Amino acid sequence: MAKQKTKFCCQECGYESAKWLGKCPGCQAWNSMVEEIETVIKTQGIGSSLLQTKEKPVPIIDIESTREPRIDTNNRELNRVLGGGIVPGSLILVGGDPGIGKSTLLLQTSFALTANKLRVLYISGEESARQTKLRADRLAAASPDLYVLCETNFEHIQAAIDEVKPDFLVMDSIQTVYHPAISSAPGSVAQVRECTAHFMRIAKVKGIATVLVGHVTKEGAIAGPRLLEHMVDCVLYFEGERHHTYRLLRAVKNRFGSTNEIGIFEMSEGGLTEVNNPSELFLSERPVGASGSAVAASMEGTRPVLVELQALVASTNFPSPRRMSAGFDHNRLSLIIAVLEKRIGLVLQSQDVYLNVAGGVKLDEPAVDLAAAVSIASSFRDYPVEPDVVVFGEIGLTGEVRGVSRIDQRVKEAQKLGFKRVIMPEKSLKGWTPPSQMDIVGVTTVSEALAAAMR
């Protein structure tokens, strides 16, 4: 017989309490404690037969070292983010805002995998089979090896997996699945945690590459307990605005590859298409001869990307000036403004400063500091930066320009797009031969960089 008891569980972090609390002690969230009925079953447990393996501990030196095989998705951008392809038996979590293109990308990927003679099971808990077929017709993604199931009961899903025996599994979305042995509602912490654990067991024991789609909160984080991200092997975030055509796929966790890679896609009537040259995309609408604009060379994983930084400096109407940034760290912006005031002599204490990374890209690399400083100074002086100049370098608190890595890749990307001059740290010039067609300007201070960019 099952014994029931009541508990209160935080829907943000999974903290459990015997009584209701207005504020969660775990994550400090208000009104997040929801009553749930906990069922304690004195048996082997749900799905325990799936884990009846009796392996013994062995010395690590006796374990054979083999490279994990990869499944080619026929999508270079997705392969780049995943670290070269999908690893069989891996559990991948994909999150993003509603309507950003998660289901579109996964349906396209499922169809591409069927071309490699793989069997794919696409489970939808939010759409009917007819709706999924309409999307597949629009994307031209119909194949006899692509199976569609509209189900939210985990026991029925497990039976379908045993029947189809897929090589690739998609669950859209994990918040809609429920296990009948757990009395809480679908989407609750208990249901999300247990269903994810069962999907993980299926993926590891049967070697099925599994993708879970996760809803996001209004802050942009994946809904449910933080434990959800710790259980999976890879966490991918879809970024971008719904009203723009391009999308960014970023890996924030990857046990089989780098976490700094991004994939860039463009949304069209036929679905998501790869963007082979993202730098050209981000610079396509760059204004010519406008002050406050500077081009930076940033590294996103192993890929160099040229992006435009736009700054606007205007007189403030408030007692304290405003500092706002989009795609750039706000604290880093305040640091750069302080350096420009103290070391360069720009009087910005009575000016509002707005900094924007054109294209909706989020930059967190210190190498874009110098381009941000140049764009702010250009807007403050109302003097444009030369259009054929690329700027990159890290700024120190004393006004020095510090060296950065992967200089050759940044310069080659600038040369490919037709830029003639590169302003970079002088310390990074050692041990590297610049191309003869490019004018390389090495600087040691921010003042030297401003003089070279706005001569």
Q: Known binding site for ATP: residues?
A: 96-103
Q: What angle do CA 367, 372, 374 make, to 5 degrees?
A: 110
Q: How far apart are CA 21 and CA 285, in angstroms?
A: 52
Rounded (10°) angle between helices 154-164 and 189-206: 10
Assign residue 122 a region (left: φ > 0; alpha: ψ between -120 and 50; beta: otherwise): beta
Residues 90, 256 contacting (CB under 8 angstroms): yes
Give which of 224, 230, 229 is closest to 189, Cα–Cα.
224
DSSP string across 281-323:
HHTTTPPSS-TTEEEEEEEETTEEEEEEEEEEEEE-SSSS--E
Neighbours of 184 (CB within 10 A): 21
Phi then psi for residue 206, to 5 deg, are -95, -5
Q: Diameter of the chain by CA atoms?
A: 83
Residues 13, 29 contacting (CB under 8 angstroms): yes
Token pair recorded at residue 331: 């604290």
Token pair recorded at residue 60: 């690590």
What is the SS3 assignment for 56? Answer: coil
Which H or E run contains 272?
Answer: strand 271-274
In the annotated binding site, the residues are 96-103
Given strand 16-17, what is the order of strands in its sheet? 16-17, 3-10, 33-40
What is the SS3 assignment for 75? Answer: coil
Q: Which residues pair with 291 in a beta bridge?
A: none
